[in-house]
Amino acid sequence: MTLPFVVFFVCALLAVLGALTLILAREPIHSALSLILVMVSLAVLYLLLGAEFIAAVQIIVYAGAIMVLFVFVIMLLNAGVEERTDYSQLAKYAGLALGIFLLLALAHWMAHSLIGQQIANGVGASNASVSTRELSAQLFQKYLFPFEATSILILIAILGALVLAKKDE
């Protein structure tokens, strides 16, 4: 049990526990906190996979900005406890069974996929971390157009949020 395996299993366990708490929590604020836990453990997994810049971006943007927005909205709207649905109970149990079946099917296909086996046979990969310099070279040369397009997208999102949140005079 070398250190990478231990770190992987601890983070995977934390991520799955966080996702389960998201489903099972009664208060929305507890769901938000468990989602933050999932994101942080995923950031550690990205570090294990050698993507350190993406790990930092995940914490800064996802866990440090998007989830703050969620927590703000939950606090402002004072979202109450989760209520029970008044629709059919049969649909609930059948749905749960089907959902779990979907989860297990996806996991099985991912574990035994053809790509997975090719990779397991060691089709070309090195163990070095990706440097920020290489990533930014790709981002500003090959993917320049999507980069500029997403900046316009962010501008439109800011305008949209401003217009929606403004009170009608």
Partner 1 sequence: MDFITQHPVLVVSLAKIVGLMFLLMTTLAYLSWFERKVIAHIQSRWGPYYVGAHGLLQPLADGVKFLFKEDLTPPSADRFVYILAPMLALTLALTTLALIPFGPPSVQWLGESTLIVANSSIGLMFVFAITSMGVYGVALAGWSSNSKYPLLGGLRSSAQMISYEVSLTLAVVGVVLLSGTLNFNEMIARQSGPFWHWNIFYAGHGSFPQIVGFLCYFMSAVAETNRAPFDLPEGETELVGGFHTEYSSFKFAMFFMAEYANMITVSCLATILFFGGWLSPFPESWTFLRYLPPASLLVLAVYLAYDTVVLARGIARIQLIVVTTGALLIGLVCLHPVALAVIQGPFWFLLKVGLIMFFYVWTRATLPRLRYDQLMSFGWKFLLPVSLANLVITALVKVWPLLVNHG
Partner 2 sequence: MSIVPISYYLVLSAILFGLGIIAFVFKRNIITIFMAIELMLNAVNLAFVAFARAHNQLDGLVFVFFVIVVAASEAAVGLAIVITVYQNRQTLNIDRINLLKF
Cβ atoms < 10 Å from Cβ of 115: 9
Q: Would you give the binding string for partner 2 spanning residues 7-46, x where CB under 8 A is met? A: -x---x--xx--xx-xx----x--xx--x--xx--x--xx
- Among 10, 73, 88, 94, interactor with partner 2 by CB under 8 A: 73
116 Cβ partners below 8 Å, 6+ apart? Answer: 110
**CB contact at 8 A, 61 and 43:** no
Cβ(48)–Cβ(4) below 8 Å: yes
Instruction: Pick one of partner 1, partner 2, none as the site partner of residue 56 (Cβ within 5 to 8 A by kind).
Output: partner 1
Is the CB of 8 or the CB of 64 nearer to partner 1?
64
Question: Is position 94 an interface residue for partner 2 (rule: CB under 8 A)?
Answer: no
Measured distance CA(81)–CA(89) in Å, rounded: 20
Q: Residue 113 — φ and ψ, nearest 5°?
A: -70, 165
Q: Which residue has the tokens 């606090």?
A: 75
Whole-Å CA distances, 162 to 155, 157, 159, 168:
11, 8, 5, 12
CB of 38 to partner 2, least distance (A): 6
Give me the 27-46 binding string for partner 1, x by CB under 8 A, dash otherwise. x-xx--x--x----------
| Position 146 contacts partner 2 (CB under 8 A) | yes
Provide the token pair at 120. 């397991």
59 binds partner 1 (CB under 8 A): yes
Binding residues with partner 1: total (CB under 8 A): 22
Residues between 65 and 124 that touch partner 1 (CB under 8 A): 65, 68, 71-72, 75-76
Binding site for partner 1 (CB under 8 A): 27, 29-30, 33, 36, 52-53, 56-57, 59-60, 63-65, 68, 71-72, 75-76, 129, 131-132
